[in-house]
Structure 1
Amino acid sequence: MSTILSVRGLNAYYSLTQALRDVSFELVRGGITTILGANGAGKTTTLRAICGMVKVTGEILLDGKRIDRLSTEKIASLGVAHVPDGRGTIGALTVEDNLRIGAFTRRDREVSSDIQKCYDYFPRLRERAKQNAGELSGGEQQMLAISRALMLRPKVLLLDEPSFGLAPLVIRDIFAILRAINATDKVSMLIVEQNARLALGLADHASLLETGSIVMSGSSAAIQENDAIRQSYLGY
Structure 2
Amino acid sequence: MRVLFIGDVFGQPGRRVLGAQLPTLRGQADFVIVNMENAAGGFGLHREAADAALKAGVHCITLGNHAWHHKDVYVMMQDEGTYPIVRPLNYSDPGTPGVGWRTFNVKTAAGTEKLTVVNLLGRVFMEALANPFRAMDELLERNDLGTVFVDFHAEATSEKQAMGWHLAGRVAAVIGTHTHVPTADTRILEGGTAYQTDAGLTGPHHSVIGSGRDGPIQKFLTERPHRYGVAEGGPAELNGVFVQIEGGRATGIERYRYVEEG
Which structure has the highest helix share of the two?
Answer: 1
Same-fold status (TM-score > 0.5): no
TM-score in terms of structure 1 length: 0.38
